[in-house]
Amino acid sequence: MNKIIQQLLIRDLQKLIKELKAYTNEADLWRVEKAINNSAGTLALHLVGNLNHFIGHILGGTMYKRDREFEFSGTIVPREKMIEQIDQTIEMLNKIMPQLSDERMNQPFEFNFLGEHSTVYYVMHFITHLSYHLGQINYHRRLLAQQTT
């Protein structure tokens, strides 16, 4: 099961890279308008922070220190730096996911912000969380592209 989880997370992180590269104007990565509260850049930073914190640090014991406030601060990070961070997140997943035993995945997740559930429940949540925000980024990019044509 871990191999499938790993493949799905990496697939969507690779899609995230493609989405970030598809913005013709890099400044649009940080644009927010009307009822759009988070830019694509903000969501990308949030996704990297989320996965590195919960899978890397909590499950894998990495030294990653999450700065959730920074993820949502609106601070502009260059596209290439974000892509580097996504690539590093993929490397982390390739290292950590194969090390997680079925026994570990079936144990309660120690950071139970969704209630008391197994680790696999939480990891599945992280997959859907990534997919949800990836869809938002795709929509954001296409919406802004329509405004400039």
Task: Find out whether 7 and 97 touch, Cβ atoms under 8 Å.
Answer: no
Average pLDDT over residues 9-38: 94
How many other CB atoms are there within 10 angstroms of residue 141's CB atom? 18
Res 129 pLDDT > 90: yes
Report the mean per-residue pLDDT for the chain: 94
Residue 48: the pLDDT is 98
At 118 the three-state DSSP class reads strand
Distance between CA atoms of residues 4 and 102, nearest Å? 13
Average pLDDT over residues 100-113: 92
> Residue 81 has which token pair?
């730096």
Which domain range does residue 101 map to? 2-147
> Residue 149 has which token pair?
């044509």
Q: How many domains does one find in the chain?
A: 1
How many other CB atoms are there within 10 angstroms of residue 116's CB atom? 8
Task: Find out whether 22 and 141 touch, Cβ atoms under 8 Å.
Answer: yes
Res 149 pLDDT > 70: no
User: What is the per-residue pLDDT across 38-85, written as a single tens digit (0 to 9) for each?
Assistant: 999 999 999 999 999 999 999 999 999 999 999 999 789 999 999 999
CATH code at position 10: 1.20.120.450
> Residue 116 has which token pair?
């008391």
Q: List the single range of 2-11, 28-37, 51-60, 100-109 with lowest mean pLDDT.
A: 28-37
* pLDDT band, residue 148 (cuts 50/70/90): low
Residue in the structure block whose two tokens are 């690539």 = 87
